[in-house]
DNA sequence: GCCGTTTTCGGCCCGACTGTTTTCAGTCG
């Protein structure tokens, strides 16, 4: 788990930067400044960092961080929420922070933040991004040596100045130097790792651990288990009666580049690929509490422990402690939640977004499972930019157990690939018809991923689209349009009579390209009006919609579809990632059209045979 | 600063590991 992951109170000075997705000029009340959720959140993160360096009340600091998390992950524009005077409906936002948000929206800044910034140079809070440098160390270095940048701290460490400070020694000085090196490596290779890349590495490491004779169980936890789109590190857990032998074994694995921490029950290593991997080991009878604790999220755990405290129980990874000091251990997570009278809560929704209240009321959703998915509704073949023949894709999908798929090659109008012309759509249809004879009862739907042109019109004529079984529409070019234009463009396409699904609706490519500048509320409204379906694109670099957007869609009564967007046979394996996003969005099978039998899907699309 | 099926005040999650220390502070998860 990365810095400030589960349970921590430490700073996380740098947050991934989001696009201006949630901002819409014409919705902001007169006189307000254009601010994205991320920009607003950033002010509170910085405020928290500065207060921490000052040594202020840690609960106040945590309140700002919690509010910033809520703001950053809110699926709607905070400016819109503010305009509706609903800010205090958001958990963690009370009168004070609501007032601060209003001030930020009106003036573009926060006076408390501005004043503190005069007191504490911006550079000092950036020192918090160095591993092993927290607020106390940053303050010490700044006040005693006057250092304000990472470069200055690096030089001071190289020249032995840091170890002269009270409380620091030569080891710490070396750790800070190594930390700066790690930070630089991260910045050169900036990104968080894709869920789809981290999962295989975690599985390899787990396979080693499970072979160790003293290991009874091993699982991934943390954000990987919650299936966030990207992860900052990998958290692994093991059950063993001899934990030390397991951490000893772990730090010697071939994947390990460097050992950072190596204790009796925990070890932290850096893999050769630069990813941090943490291992925690406890006895089998404590495995349930270990799993719960390290799955997080941090805020979920805090709420969980508050509920425990209200029942006179203190909870940690070791189990529940009664007030008399006696321990209740839990071998399973079901027992952990059950001890507080709660049903087991799926990891994907442990984000402190209302899951406890829902669980208490017995209203937890029956989340969609991979096995619910009967067909894959987006994939490509050599007819456009895919690497496998249409027949190979179909047979591979059939062999995965699907009842149907949609072949959705690109249309003309997409410059970089050989998109289908009306003529070639008809040729492809003949091949699909032939395949359907061969593969029956498995069914290949003749589909298309048609370009939404810059004005919202589609790149194929109506009669061509009408003859297809399913039409996906998406934006691949002209992506820099302003918010109003882009929103109008997508909404116009949704109103097209032959468009069934908007593919990868927000257009993000994780770590590569920001989301489209789109008013998502307006997209949801258009979906309500037209019945258009929004895709959850399962390819690892898209995962679009993500959980937050999927949940907003479901709450708006909008239907979803799942497609891998596979461009090869191997690409079909991405479906569990898409299902994970759906689960993070609290989706049940009924919310996703391709959990339904083919006839029901065709009826929904008004294309019954 | 937030929050309330004990509370509008007085709480706010809990423990391992490391380094610099002679008993603990800082950082992290």
pLDDT value at position A13? 36
Identify whether A609 is part of a domain. no
Give the structural domain span for A141: 123-188
Domain co-membership, A327 together with A441: no
Residue nearest to nucleotide B18 (CA to C1'): A261
Identify whether A319 is part of a domain. yes
| Segment (H or E) for A319 | strand A319-321
pLDDT value at position A77? 85
Identify whether A13 is part of a domain. no
Q: Is A446 exposed, middle or buried (0-12, 13-18, 19+ CB in 10 A)?
A: buried
**Distance between CA A603 and CA A575 in Å, rounded?**
24
Q: What is the pLDDT of residues A67-89, one digit of tens each?
A: 998 898 887 889 989 999 999 99
CA atoms within a 13 Å half-sphere pointing along the CA-CB vector of A239: 16
User: Strand B within 7 Å of which CB atoms in A 33-92?
Assistant: 57, 59-60, 62-64, 67, 88, 91-92
The low-confidence residues of chain A, meaning pLDDT below 70, are 1-31, 189-191, 415-416, 607-609
- Distance CA A57 to C1' B10 in A: 14
Look at chain A and count its residues. Answer: 609
The set of residues, in sequence order, having a beta carbon less than 8 Å from that of A308 and lying 6+ positions away, is A314, A315, A320, A340
Q: What is the DSSP letter of A516?
A: P
DSSP string, A284-295: GGGHHHHHHHHH
- Distance CA A270 to C1' B19 in A: 21
**Distance between CA A381 and CA A567 in Å, rounded?**
6
Nucleotides on chain B that have an atom closer than 7 A to a protein CB are 1-3, 6-7, 11-21, 25-29
Identify whether A444 is part of a domain. yes
**Is A258 (CB) below 7 Å from strand B?**
no
Which residue carries 């050989």 as its tokens?
A418
**Distance between CA A609 and CA A603 in Å, rounded?**
9
Q: Is A354 exposed, middle or buried (0-12, 13-18, 19+ CB in 10 A)?
A: exposed
Residue A472's beta-bridge partner residues? A449, A501
pLDDT value at position A192? 84
Identify whether A447 is part of a domain. yes
DSSP string, A8-45: --------PPP-STT--GGGSPTT-----HHHHHHHHH
**Distance between CA A62 and CA A353 in Å, rounded?**
17
Comparing CA positions, the residue from A173, A323, A284, A222 lying closest to residue A8 is A222
Which residue carries 């208490």 as its tokens?
A360
Look at chain A and report how many structural domains it folds into: 5
CATH number of residue A341's parent domain:
3.30.210.10
Comparing CA positions, the residue from A404, A360, A408, A365 lying closest to residue A383 is A408
Angle (CA) A352-A356-A362 rounded to 5° is 145
Domain co-membership, A350 together with A317: yes
**Is A222 (CB) below 7 Å from strand B?**
yes
Cβ atoms of A333 and A292 closer than 8 Å = yes
**Is A223 (CB) below 7 Å from strand B?**
no
Domain boundary among A102, A120, A138: A120
Q: Show the tokens assigned to A494.
A: 């949704």
Cβ atoms of A236 and A205 closer than 8 Å = yes
- Distance CA A308 to C1' B6 in A: 14
- Distance CA A465 to C1' B28 in A: 56
Beta-carbon count within 10 A of A324 CB:
6
Identify whether A143 is part of a domain. yes
pLDDT value at position A22? 39
Domain co-membership, A515 together with A600: yes
Identify whether A259 is part of a domain. yes
Nucleotide nearest to A313 (CA to C1'): B13
- Distance CA A593 to C1' B8 in A: 48
- Distance CA A112 to C1' B8 in A: 26
Of all residues in chain A, the percent with pLDDT exceeding 90 is 80
Domain co-membership, A567 together with A446: yes
Angle (CA) A535-A541-A545 rounded to 5° is 25
CATH number of residue A157's parent domain:
1.10.150.20
Domain co-membership, A585 together with A449: yes
Residue nearest to nucleotide B24 (CA to C1'): A167
Domain boundary among A92, A120, A148: A120
Tell me how far CA of residue A563 lies from CA of A30, A303, A503, in angstroms.
41, 35, 9
**Distance between CA A585 and CA A555 in Å, rounded?**
10
Domain co-membership, A423 together with A484: yes
Helix (H, G, I), strand (E, B) or coil at A375: strand
Domain boundary among A136, A165, A188: A188
Handedness of CA A21, A487, A406, A419 (dihedral sign): negative
3-state secondary structure A578-596: HHHHHHHCCCEHHHEHHHC
pLDDT value at position A182? 85
Cβ atoms of A35 and A71 closer than 8 Å = no
Which residue carries 């590569």 as its tokens?
A512
User: Strand B within 7 Å of which CB atoms in A 460-499?
Assistant: none
Taking the alpha carbons at both ends of chain A, their separation in whole angstroms is: 51
Domain co-membership, A72 together with A103: yes
pLDDT value at position A72? 87
Residue nearest to nucleotide B4 (CA to C1'): A310
Angle (CA) A149-A152-A154 rounded to 5° is 110
Domain co-membership, A336 together with A377: no
Domain co-membership, A319 together with A392: no
Domain co-membership, A138 together with A84: no
Domain co-membership, A161 together with A202: no
Helix (H, G, I), strand (E, B) or coil at A443: strand
CATH number of residue A65's parent domain:
1.10.150.110
**Is A138 (CB) below 7 Å from strand B?**
yes
| Segment (H or E) for A278 | strand A276-282
Nucleotide nearest to A130 (CA to C1'): B27
Comparing CA positions, the residue from A280, A287, A283 lying closest to residue A335 is A287
CATH number of residue A218's parent domain:
3.30.460.10
Residue nearest to nucleotide B27 (CA to C1'): A132
Q: What is the DSSP letter of A241?
A: S
Domain co-membership, A228 together with A275: yes
Q: Show the tokens assigned to A101.
A: 């948000």
Q: Show the tokens assigned to A206.
A: 């787990």
Identify whether A599 is part of a domain. yes
């Amino acid at each position: 788990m990365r810095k400030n992951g589960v349970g921590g109170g430490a700073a996380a000075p740098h947050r991934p930067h989001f696009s201006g997705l949630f901002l819409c000029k014409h919705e902001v009340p007169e006189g307000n400044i254009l601010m994205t959720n991320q920009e607003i959140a950033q002010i509170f993160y910085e405020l928290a960092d500065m207060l921490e360096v000052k040594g202020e009340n840690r609960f106040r600091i945590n309140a700002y961080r919690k509010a910033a998390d809520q703001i950053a992950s809110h699926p709607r524009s905070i400016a819109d929420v503010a305009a509706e005077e609903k800010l205090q409906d958001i958990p963690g936002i009370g009168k004070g922070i609501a007032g601060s948000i209003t001030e930020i929206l009106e003036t573009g800044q926060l006076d408390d933040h501005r004043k503190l910034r005069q007191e504490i140079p911006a550079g000092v809070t950036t020192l918090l991004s160095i591993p092993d440098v927290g607020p106390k160390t940053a303050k010490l270095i700044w006040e005693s040596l006057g250092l304000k940048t990472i470069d200055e701290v690096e030089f001071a460490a190289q020249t032995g100045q840091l170890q002269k400070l009270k409380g620091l020694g030569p080891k710490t000085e070396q750790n800070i130097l190594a930390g700066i090196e790690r930070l630089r490596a991260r910045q050169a290779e900036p990104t968080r790792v894709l869920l789809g890349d981290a999962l295989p590495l975690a599985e390899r490491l787990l396979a080693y651990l499970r072979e160790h004779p003293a290991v009874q169980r091993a699982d991934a936890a943390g954000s990987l288990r919650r299936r966030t789109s990207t992860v900052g590190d990998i958290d692994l857990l093991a059950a063993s009666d001899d934990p030390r032998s397991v951490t000893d074994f772990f730090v010697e694995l071939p994947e390990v580049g460097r050992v950072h921490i190596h204790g009796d029950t925990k070890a932290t290593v850096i893999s050769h690929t630069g990813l941090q991997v943490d291992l925690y080991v406890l006895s089998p009878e404590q495995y349930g509490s270990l799993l719960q604790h390290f799955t997080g999220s941090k805020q979920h755990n805090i709420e969980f422990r508050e509920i425990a405290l209200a029942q006179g129980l203190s909870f940690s990874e070791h189990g529940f402690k009664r007030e008399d000091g006696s321990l209740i251990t839990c071998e399973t997570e079901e027992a952990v939640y059950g001890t507080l009278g709660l049903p087991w809560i799926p990891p994907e929704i442990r984000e402190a977004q209302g899951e406890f209240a829902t669980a208490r009321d017995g209203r937890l959703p029956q989340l969609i499972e991979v096995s619910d998915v009967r067909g894959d509704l987006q994939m490509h073949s050599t007819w456009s930019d895919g690497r496998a023949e249409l027949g190979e894709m179909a047979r591979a999908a059939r062999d995965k157990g699907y009842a149907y798929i949609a072949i959705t090659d690109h249309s003309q109008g997409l410059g970089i690939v050989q998109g289908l012309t009306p003529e070639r759509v008809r040729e492809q249809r003949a091949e699909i018809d032939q395949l359907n004879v061969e593969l029956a009862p498995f069914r290949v739907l003749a589909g298309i991923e048609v370009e939404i042109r810059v004005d919202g019109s589609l790149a194929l004529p109506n009669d061509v689209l009408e003859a297809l079984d399913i039409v996906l529409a998406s934006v691949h070019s002209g992506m820099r349009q302003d918010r109003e234009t882009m929103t109008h463009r997508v909404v116009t396409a949704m109103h097209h009579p032959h468009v069934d699904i908007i593919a990868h609706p927000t257009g993000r490519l994780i770590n590569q390209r920001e989301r489209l500048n789109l008013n998502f509320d307006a997209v949801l409204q258009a979906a309500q009006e037209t019945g258009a379906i929004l895709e959850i694109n399962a390819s690892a670099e898209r995962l679009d919609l993500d959980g937050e957007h999927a949940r907003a869609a479901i709450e708006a009564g909008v239907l979803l579809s799942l497609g891998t967007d596979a461009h090869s046979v191997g690409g079909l394996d991405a479906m569990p990632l898409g299902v994970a996003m759906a689960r993070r969005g609290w989706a049940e099978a009924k919310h996703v059209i391709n959990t339904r039998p083919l006839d029901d899907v065709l009826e929904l699309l008004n294309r019954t045979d």
